[in-house]
Chain A
Amino acid sequence: MTALRLTEPDLDFIKELQKTGGESLKKCFQCATCSVVCQLSPDNNPFPRKEMIWAQWGQKERLVSDHHVWLCHQCNDCSTNCPRGARPGDVLAAVRAQSIRHYSIPGFMTKIVQDPKLILVALAIPVLYVLAMLGVDGHLSTLIHPPKAEVEYGSYFLSHLTLNIMFTSAFVIFLLGGLVGLTRFINDMKKTDPIPGDKDPGFIKAVIAAFFELLAHRKFKKCTAGSNRYFSHFGLFYGFALLFIVTSIVVLLILVAPDTYPINSLSNPLKLAGNLGAILLIGGGLIAIYDRLTTPDLAGQSSYFDWFFLLVILTVGITGLLTEIARFTNASSWAYWMYFFHIVFVFCLLCYLPYSKFGHLLYRFFAIVHSKRVGGYPE
């Protein structure tokens, strides 16, 4: 085995981890209780014990490219059983944040999104962008003097064309930065834990298997300490999926059949699906927040990284629902503001995906794929 030549442990990395949720990482004394109680940990090369000592020794490269870190669903069985109060679940969460920061480009975007001191900057970007969109449409005044007529977002506020083009292009650009990061991550994973030839099911098969596993939320069912997580994540995931699909369909619809929009009937299947999604999303988000506030030792300590994502996605749901209610009740005094903030937060959700906790969508999925290809993945 090649020896690890250690010149300097990365003390800054350790301090970063400690600041972003892993403050107890030094308490670990390597008993491996965590690896044993973790229901998601494979027998061969289990986690998170070795991740804890790597964290203690500042082994940044090792950790950010470790697929095991993403197998963790932070159910917190490890943290509740840890005899030293080292909270491995929280440490891994901090590592995941650092991993995203390490890979996604550009670096200054990750800083803006992850650093609590820069929250105003993070919010200012979408605010300015949406104002720019309004400027393009010449509807800046709607915010100050909302028209007293029926609420019609497309006519008085943001034309769907402007919104869709400008928003989608921004999203795609940021997503590219995320995909670059993802590719680097996947390559580093292969270097750290190479895929052996014999048991590899192949990329496609692994992706399909991971996808169906995700749909069933099988892993979430296994956790005992954070068992509410199954419900909160189910709601958030399916809520978001529904809303994303509906919104994408609507974007297409507007392109090909612009007269069908806006949809005024609540019994329209799209509307039904969207509202269902909203309810799932908000419900899941509220359960998550409740857990994190009332039982932090079961749910895990929540860092800025966690709250940012959770509050953003919940706000997206709530503002979206309220925007719809405002339209149907013609509450023109606040409808446009609501829609404004809705878009700002959708921006934070989607465009910041590569830099925020939402990035787990990419990183975790492909880490699981890698795990399945490496072998020993507990099914």
Chain B
Amino acid sequence: MDTTVGVFLCTGCGIDEAMDCEALKKVAESEYKVKCFHSHKKLCNPDGVELIKKEISEQGLNRVVIAACSPRVKTEVFHFDSPEVFQDRLGLRELVAWTGEPKHEDTDMLAQDYIRMSIVKVQKGAPPEPFKEEISKDMLVVGGGWTGMHSALDLASAGYKVHLVEKDDKLGGNALNLAKRVPMNPPRREPEEPDIEDLIGKVQADANIDVHLATEIQRINGQPGLLDTDLKSGSEEKHVRVGAIVSAVGYRPYDPAKLAHLGYGTSPDVITNVDMEKMLKQDSLKKPSDNGSVKKVVFIQCAGSRDPDHLPYCSGVCCAETLKQARMLRDADKDIKAFILYRDMRTPGLLEDFYKSAQDDPGIFLTKADVKEVKSEGNNLVVAAENTLLGQDLELEADIVVLATGMVPNTLDNEVLKLNYRQGPDMPVDRYGFPDSNYVCFPYETQRTAMYAAGPVRQPMDAYQSRVDASGAALKAIQAVEEISRGAAVHPRAGDLTFPEFFLQRCTQCKRCTEECPFGALNEDEKGTPQPNPNRCRRCGVCMGACPERIISFKNYHVDQIVSMIKAVEIPEEDEEKPRALCLICENDAYPSLDIAALNKQKLNPYMRFLPVRCLGSVNVVFIADALSAGYDGVLLLGCKHGDDYQCHFIKGSELATKRMENVQEALQRLVLESERVRIEELALSEWRRIPKIVDEFMETLEEVGPNPYKDM
């Protein structure tokens, strides 16, 4: 590729004071024959920017190195990426000037190596050529309940055509069983009339929404923007192409048969909150056992919830639902007394007002209690409870006992989307079956691009939150198709126009990429050859890191480029006693952390060369092998935390890197190299204080094991 490289060095912010800038010029001009090299005292100021613009147009530059401050600052100022120009921001200020000894030989060598790496990076890389295909921006909403319908209406209002698929023969889902609803709007004191019929009417009247009742998904082939969906309704088959999916398949109540310890099954008068809602809706308050009158109802909260033997999680809605049902019972018959036995009364936030209004009713009795037993005594039920607020254990006589049970997602043990994805037919779920995001800041992450879960299927939530969730998921679906139509990635590399290209002729069908892709972007044919789907891809590069044949590459990020950058570094001879270490550092958390360490003027060992990577998962073992054979004494990988509370933005990138490093140990042994030469460390963004220590410890280890014997070869 013909590249015309221009290097622009800023000498401000302490760079000139810290290093020999003339030497940098020499490296660029004599070693790499760059088209031009310019120094400027204040490169980010308007005249500095003008200079760069001028040189690009006059010199015909198509590769630009900006050696100044970190790529994380002055982003809008130094923005020369275009279809013609590929730029690299080299943070000499943070990487060298702020962290190194000024005017020291090692500092100069460090800066020069960075210049080399940066020039090689732009020489080897190229501007992206986005993958664009004619896509469908139609939406598939799975589940025609409260959440699904709201999502469909939102999408339709935004101008997108929606296919709303519901397996029942009518819309409404669980909401059809509601007698009344916990209030969603201020003043939040009275149960509200459920307006599910209105909602159904709106959906059916909306020209943008195609309702498919009594329909299930048979198969979804393809990729976002081109999701070829096969639907089946009875014997009729339909086919639609959609761009993105919102899964709102809802919940089912926890199976009460498992609650025998609370009396369910022993007496027909022990019912669930779902049963009670039905009784209230049908206005038939009678004891199931003998149709007797109901005067005393005892509600037992957390029935089978917050219990490691049943559902360990809390379903959040049952406290308010019980208060609502108690109020409805009292409104129906002033002779009824409702007792509520709770562990904690969970009506957080503004729902507190609803709790207060329920308290005002003299016929509703509340206490914290641990329910021990529900027993039958003749025709009556008796609930035995301990640790109450009344200072005494209780035995409450009841006509009906209501067990407030929790919510189980319909994705538990259930195939919903039937995706033709090598990694499974559905969105990955957590250990309870919820396709929920593990991120606090990014709640809609489902590990499947352009597919978003909404409502109680995602996590237990009430009607108000479900409606909000429906809109949120709708937005993400719209965003996905719009970005895909531009050929761009979505979060976290939002706007990235590159995509992985596969040189399949050399593929050995090892299946590592197809297995390891965190987002299921790769299907496989019968032989095991990967079938890429760029629209599913998040551009993390895990596949690139997995491939032992190195056949996967991005236009501006690929194995040859990285290896060349690694080899561009000058390795001093062993007798010079200047070790060299490489640190492959993740861009997402670790690199910003390094910036902050630099901002705080932490000193770093000058023998370490930092090479930012998209994700530690994109680190190919060849980087390490080549680094060691080039003479580096050690390779450190610095990235995000993995494990149950993972912070890795690509789900399991750093986890995969850790596994691969374990395999690397074998390779090291074969090469008769010490396993200590390769290390992987986890770092959270806020842990910048650890960085100098990590680097120092690693360099000390390397000193102990001695210089790399391959150094002089």
Q: In the complex, A touching B, CB below 8 Å? A: yes
Q: Chain A: residues with CB nearer than 8 A to chain B?
A: 1-9, 11, 14-15, 18, 26-30, 50, 53-54, 56-57, 59, 84
Could you tell me the distance between the alpha carbons of A30 and B345 in the complex, rounded to whole angstroms?
Answer: 11
Is B365 located at the chain interface by the 8 A CB criterion? yes
B526 CB → nearest A CB, Å: 65
Is B360 located at the chain interface by the 8 A CB criterion? yes
* Complex contact B362–A1 (CB within 8 A): no
| B360 touches which of A2, A3, A27 (Cβ 8 Å) | A27
Given contacts A5-B395, A7-B397, A9-B337, contact A30 B389 (CB under 8 A): yes
Is B666 located at the chain interface by the 8 A CB criterion? no
Q: 16 more A-B contacts (CB under 8 A) besides A3-B394, A4-B395, A8-B337?
A: A3-B393, A3-B395, A4-B390, A4-B392, A4-B393, A8-B296, A11-B363, A15-B362, A26-B359, A27-B356, A27-B359, A30-B368, A50-B389, A50-B390, A54-B390, A56-B366
> For chain B residues 440-484, which have a beta carbon within 8 Å of chain A?
none
State how many residues of chain B have any CB contact under 8 Å with chain A.
Answer: 24
Q: Chain B: residues with CB nearer than 8 A to chain A?
A: 296, 337, 345, 355-356, 359-363, 365-368, 384, 389-397
Which residue of chain A has its CB nearest to the CB of B295? Answer: A8
Could you tell me the distance between the alpha carbons of A168 and B394 in the complex, rounded to whole angstroms?
Answer: 49
B668 CB → nearest A CB, Å: 62
Q: Which 3 A-B pairs have the closest CB atoms?
A: A3-B393, A4-B392, A3-B395
* Complex contact B395–A53 (CB within 8 A): no
15 pairs of residues in contact across A and B, judged by CB atoms under 8 Å: A1-B392, A2-B393, A3-B392, A5-B397, A6-B394, A6-B395, A6-B396, A14-B362, A15-B362, A18-B362, A26-B360, A26-B362, A29-B345, A56-B365, A57-B367
Main secondary structure of the interface of B (DSSP, over half): mixed
Contacts of A50 in B (CB 8 A): 389-391
Could you tell me the distance between the alpha carbons of A176 and B52 in the complex, rounded to whole angstroms?
Answer: 108
Which residue of chain B has its CB nearest to the CB of A62? Answer: B390
Could you tell me the distance between the alpha carbons of A2 and B368 in the complex, rounded to whole angstroms?
Answer: 18
Could you tell me the distance between the alpha carbons of A6 and B367 in the complex, rounded to whole angstroms?
Answer: 13
| A53 touches which of B355, B367, B384, B397 (Cβ 8 Å) | B367
A209 CB → nearest B CB, Å: 27
Could you tell me the distance between the alpha carbons of A235 and B337 in the complex, rounded to whole angstroms?
Answer: 46
Given contacts A18-B362, A56-B365, A84-B356, contact A1 B390 (CB under 8 A): no
* Complex contact B394–A53 (CB within 8 A): no
Could you tell me the distance between the alpha carbons of A53 and B391 in the complex, rounded to whole angstroms?
Answer: 10
* Complex contact A3–B390 (CB within 8 A): no
Could you tell me the distance between the alpha carbons of A29 and B345 in the complex, rounded to whole angstroms?
Answer: 10
Could you tell me the distance between the alpha carbons of A59 and B365 in the complex, rounded to whole angstroms?
Answer: 12
| B359 touches which of A2, A9, A29, A54 (Cβ 8 Å) | A29
* Complex contact A57–B384 (CB within 8 A): no
Could you tell me the distance between the alpha carbons of A18 and B362 in the complex, rounded to whole angstroms?
Answer: 9
A7 CB → nearest B CB, Å: 5
Could you tell me the distance between the alpha carbons of A84 and B359 in the complex, rounded to whole angstroms?
Answer: 11
Given contacts A4-B395, A27-B356, contact A53 B390 (CB under 8 A): yes
Could you tell me the distance between the alpha carbons of A50 and B368 in the complex, rounded to whole angstroms?
Answer: 13
A355 CB → nearest B CB, Å: 26
Contacts of B397 in A (CB 8 A): 5-7
Could you tell me the distance between the alpha carbons of A29 and B395 in the complex, rounded to whole angstroms?
Answer: 21
Contacts of A4 in B (CB 8 A): 390, 392-395
* Complex contact A26–B390 (CB within 8 A): no
B396 CB → nearest A CB, Å: 5
Could you tell me the distance between the alpha carbons of A7 and B382 in the complex, rounded to whole angstroms?
Answer: 10
Could you tell me the distance between the alpha carbons of A54 and B389 in the complex, rounded to whole angstroms?
Answer: 9
Contacts of B390 in A (CB 8 A): 4, 50, 53-54, 57, 59
Contacts of A53 in B (CB 8 A): 367, 389-390
B367 CB → nearest A CB, Å: 7
Which residue of chain A has its CB nearest to the CB of B337? Answer: A9
Could you tell me the distance between the alpha carbons of A2 and B359 in the complex, rounded to whole angstroms?
Answer: 28
B263 CB → nearest A CB, Å: 17
Could you tell me the distance between the alpha carbons of A53 and B389 in the complex, rounded to whole angstroms?
Answer: 7
Contacts of A54 in B (CB 8 A): 390
Contacts of B391 in A (CB 8 A): 50
Contacts of B393 in A (CB 8 A): 1-4
Could you tell me the distance between the alpha carbons of A14 and B361 in the complex, rounded to whole angstroms?
Answer: 11
Interface centre among A7, A8, A53, A59 (most CB of B within 10 A): A53
Which residue of chain B has its CB nearest to the CB of A85? Answer: B356
A192 CB → nearest B CB, Å: 11
Which residue of chain A has its CB nearest to the CB of B335? Answer: A11
Could you tell me the distance between the alpha carbons of A18 and B359 in the complex, rounded to whole angstroms?
Answer: 14
A266 CB → nearest B CB, Å: 56
Which residue of chain B has its CB nearest to the CB of A25? Answer: B362
Could you tell me the distance between the alpha carbons of A269 and B708 in the complex, rounded to whole angstroms?
Answer: 115
B54 CB → nearest A CB, Å: 69
* Complex contact B362–A11 (CB within 8 A): yes
Could you tell me the distance between the alpha carbons of A28 and B365 in the complex, rounded to whole angstroms?
Answer: 11
Contacts of A15 in B (CB 8 A): 362
| A26 touches which of B296, B361, B394 (Cβ 8 Å) | B361
A69 CB → nearest B CB, Å: 14
Interface centre among B362, B367, B394 (most CB of A within 10 A): B362
A3 CB → nearest B CB, Å: 4
Interface centre among B363, B390, B393 (most CB of A within 10 A): B390
Could you tell me the distance between the alpha carbons of A121 and B365 in the complex, rounded to whole angstroms?
Answer: 37
Contacts of A56 in B (CB 8 A): 365-366
Contacts of B396 in A (CB 8 A): 6
Which residue of chain B has its CB nearest to the CB of A29? Answer: B359
Which residue of chain A has its CB nearest to the CB of B394? Answer: A4
Contacts of B362 in A (CB 8 A): 11, 14-15, 18, 26
Contacts of B384 in A (CB 8 A): 3
Which residue of chain B has its CB nearest to the CB of A15? Answer: B362
Contacts of B355 in A (CB 8 A): 29
| B365 touches which of A5, A29, A57 (Cβ 8 Å) | A57
Could you tell me the distance between the alpha carbons of A29 and B364 in the complex, rounded to whole angstroms?
Answer: 13
Contacts of B367 in A (CB 8 A): 30, 53, 57
B211 CB → nearest A CB, Å: 45
B417 CB → nearest A CB, Å: 44
Could you tell me the distance between the alpha carbons of A56 and B339 in the complex, rounded to whole angstroms?
Answer: 11
Contacts of B296 in A (CB 8 A): 8
Which residue of chain B has its CB nearest to the CB of A50? Answer: B391
Contacts of A2 in B (CB 8 A): 392-393
Could you tell me the distance between the alpha carbons of A9 and B296 in the complex, rounded to whole angstroms?
Answer: 10
Could you tell me the distance between the alpha carbons of A54 and B361 in the complex, rounded to whole angstroms?
Answer: 15
Contacts of B366 in A (CB 8 A): 56
Could you tell me the distance between the alpha carbons of A7 and B363 in the complex, rounded to whole angstroms?
Answer: 14
Could you tell me the distance between the alpha carbons of A28 and B362 in the complex, rounded to whole angstroms?
Answer: 12
Contacts of B361 in A (CB 8 A): 26
B348 CB → nearest A CB, Å: 14
* Complex contact B395–A9 (CB within 8 A): no
Which residue of chain A has its CB nearest to the CB of B298? Answer: A6
Could you tell me the distance between the alpha carbons of A11 and B392 in the complex, rounded to whole angstroms?
Answer: 20
B129 CB → nearest A CB, Å: 64
Contacts of A57 in B (CB 8 A): 365, 367, 390
Which residue of chain B has its CB nearest to the CB of A27? Answer: B359
Which residue of chain B has its CB nearest to the CB of A54? Answer: B390
Which residue of chain A has its CB nearest to the CB of B398? Answer: A6
Could you tell me the distance between the alpha carbons of A3 and B392 in the complex, rounded to whole angstroms?
Answer: 6
Contacts of B394 in A (CB 8 A): 3-4, 6
A304 CB → nearest B CB, Å: 20
Could you tell me the distance between the alpha carbons of A28 and B356 in the complex, rounded to whole angstroms?
Answer: 9
B38 CB → nearest A CB, Å: 68
Which residue of chain B has its CB nearest to the CB of A18? Answer: B362
* Complex contact A9–B392 (CB within 8 A): no
Could you tell me the distance between the alpha carbons of A8 and B380 in the complex, rounded to whole angstroms?
Answer: 13
Given contacts A3-B393, A6-B396, A54-B390, contact A11 B337 (CB under 8 A): yes
Could you tell me the distance between the alpha carbons of A308 and B246 in the complex, rounded to whole angstroms?
Answer: 69
B377 CB → nearest A CB, Å: 11
Could you tell me the distance between the alpha carbons of A188 and B362 in the complex, rounded to whole angstroms?
Answer: 27
A56 CB → nearest B CB, Å: 6
Contacts of A29 in B (CB 8 A): 345, 355, 359
B658 CB → nearest A CB, Å: 48
Contacts of A11 in B (CB 8 A): 337, 362-363
